[in-house]
Structure 1
Amino acid sequence: MIAVLGECVADAFTDRAAGGAAAGGLALRVLPGGGPANTAVALARLGTPARFLGRISGDVFGGLFREHLTSSGVDLSASVAAGEPSTLAVAALDADGRAEYTFYADGTADWQWTPYELDPGRLGPVACLHTGSLALVREPGREAVAEFARAASRRATISIDPNVRPSLAAKDDYQVARWCEWTDILKLSADDLDFLLPGTPMEHACDTWHAAGARLIVITRGADGALVSLDGARAAVPAPEVDVVDTVGAGDSFTAGLLHDLGARGLLGGRLDDLDLETAVAAATFAARVSALTCSVAGANPPWAHRLRTD
């Protein structure tokens, strides 16, 4: 079992085929998203039992999230029924299918975690906790999330994805070096790195975060693949060729693929003591396939396990 702690976000995309645009308005197609929720869905579809710890609103978007998560096989028993509204993100896609988001996030459900809600018993018997993204940087709940993850590190592997959103959080909010004190796996994108440590070579950034405590660091680079760094030993992983529809959820699916493969090898549940670079590269190669398949369809719609057996 892998637990994922974080947000659900309603991703709204312009739908020019809908009637609203013809009537002089702007029609939006809303899909369930949010980095942590996407990762939980991808894990479950790959066959890893996944538990989602989220604050899910009772509004119409919250209903969309629940249906999406449960239909993918995600366990919601540890989630909180929240009274606040859901977070909304309106996405604009560029020519390469990359999304730029405008967020409507003030006072929404995802950031209101309290220490009471994040009692250690909520985690349950899991081998790994994955968190990060906005729930780890947004007030008022970020300290409760960080403390919960730190406490969980005593009995589970911890995975973090900063999933940087500059429009919603400042650079100082992403306390990556502090997180690495209790994090085993740090996954981030090259864009995240450019924001967090501008002008810093990837290898130097990896060494900085290894020194802070993280054992496995993976930096995804889009069409250029990924860099895998295990305790300073490094290797490159190529990206599979794919016809890209959009890249929404690609990084979240990569994280799920990485954790799924490591879990299937029995390597989660501790400090990755038995992990070697060759195995880490194999896990990242599998993750790149999962991510590529996500890019081949619209929205954050990660593949089911059978697609990886047939594609």
Structure 2
Amino acid sequence: MRGAAAAAGPAVTVLGECVADAFTEQTPDGEELSLRVLPGGGPANTAVALARLGTPTRFRGRISDDVFGGLFRTRLAASGVDVSGCVSAAEPSTLAVADLDARGHATYSFHAEGAADWQWTAEELAAAAPGDSVCLHTGSLALVREPGGRRVEDHLAAVRERTTVSIDPNVRPLLVPPGAYRARLARWCALTDVLRLSEDDLGHLMPGASPEAACDAWHEAGARLVVITLGGRGALASLDGTRVRVPSAPAVVVDTVGAGDSFTAGLLHALARLGRLGGRLDALTAEETAVSCAYAARVAAATCAVPGADPPWADDVGAFR
């Protein structure tokens, strides 16, 4: 595996969707449009990035038996992700058509009705339990789309006694109304230890609120560590109300696809290396939070420097110290 670090340390389980990201390419005469399809999906991107950094990573998803499902499995396995616990699903894969603006920011249109990712059953989730993993990360569409979303919530409640929980809401307003996220966010905060979201997510979840006010509200609801990424302005991390500001890492931005997912992976990788995962983050300090977020920013910057959601390998960004 190119650039792979030897997987070491405690394992992290990632649960959620795989998405076929289709990037549009138009002919000069404007009469033809082609699609370049790359494997994506927020949770799958996070799993790939974690494994490439050297964290033993297990992905638990409902992967379709269609042509896109084969693409997903190949990418995950080639990055060192354990996919043995994935469900082989008869339903189709989710397709997202991405349109990049001049700054490399993507907007998506989704083709997701009846897709495999949202059909979790209680029995499938019980079989996907994280076992001896120290952390279960989830979020994005699998946590909010029905019928599976409520069952994923129940799964988090069942495993959190022995496992750190991490959630990235990754709001997709074109597919799910932001009000649906807002209605369930307090429940998610009560279940999670780490809440990582973007500035765009903040605008959808608490319109008009400052990052600091949002952190306070989510701490009150139960989240111990809240990290809000702010694009080129870095990130704000709040550990039980103690604030840490982390600058962004230098990068030549090709596009920002997968940057937030890579940040989450870098953060969880660092916390695992520090031995802070496996419980409620009781021993985590503000200084450790700062160095972990600084490393995560480096991982995100490396992802921005290449097209699509293609996270760096360990030797691209260096080991976490």
Same fold (TM over 0.5): yes
In structure 1, the residue matched to 2:4 is none
In structure 2, the residue matched to 1:81 is 88
In structure 1, the residue matched to 2:195 is 186
Contact 2:60 2:128 in 1 (8 A): no
2:208 to 185, 188, 199: 199
Contact 1:21 1:27 in 2 (8 A): no
In structure 2, the residue matched to 1:102 is 109
Q: Indicate whether 1:244 and 2:232 are aligned.
A: no
Matched AA of 1:66: R
Residues of 2 paired with 1:238 and 1:114: CA distance?
41
Contact 2:255 2:304 in 1 (8 A): yes
TM-score by length of 1: 0.96
2:160 to 150, 153, 159: 153
Q: Indicate whether 1:30 and 2:40 are aligned.
A: no
Q: Deviations over 1:100-154 (max 9, x none)?
A: 0000000010000011111166322100000010000001110111111111111
TM-score by length of 2: 0.93
In structure 2, the residue matched to 1:15 is 25
Contact 1:14 1:26 in 2 (8 A): yes
Cα deviation for residue 260 of structure 1 reads 0.1
Residues of 2 paired with 1:66 and 1:120: CA distance?
19
Cα deviation for residue 15 of structure 1 reads 2.8
Percent identity of paired positions between Structure 1 and Structure 2: 62
Residues of 1 paired with 2:297 and 2:18: CA distance?
23
Residues of 2 paired with 1:35 and 1:216: CA distance?
20
Contact 1:3 1:50 in 2 (8 A): yes
Residues of 1 paired with 2:185 and 2:272: CA distance?
24
Please give the secondary structure, in 2, of the residue aligned with 1:7.
Answer: coil
Residues of 2 paired with 1:277 and 1:199: CA distance?
27
In structure 2, the residue matched to 1:53 is 60
2:180 to 173, 176, 184: 173
In structure 1, the residue matched to 2:236 is 227
Residues of 2 paired with 1:231 and 1:23: CA distance?
53
Please give the secondary structure, in 2, of the residue aligned with 1:275.
Answer: coil
The root-mean-square deviation of aligned C-alpha atoms, in Å, is: 1.3
1:271 to 277, 280, 288: 280
Residues of 2 paired with 1:279 and 1:177: CA distance?
26
Cα deviation for residue 77 of structure 1 reads 1.2
Residues of 2 paired with 1:257 and 1:240: CA distance?
13
Contact 2:129 2:159 in 1 (8 A): no
Matched AA of 1:172: G
1:215 to 213, 216, 224: 224
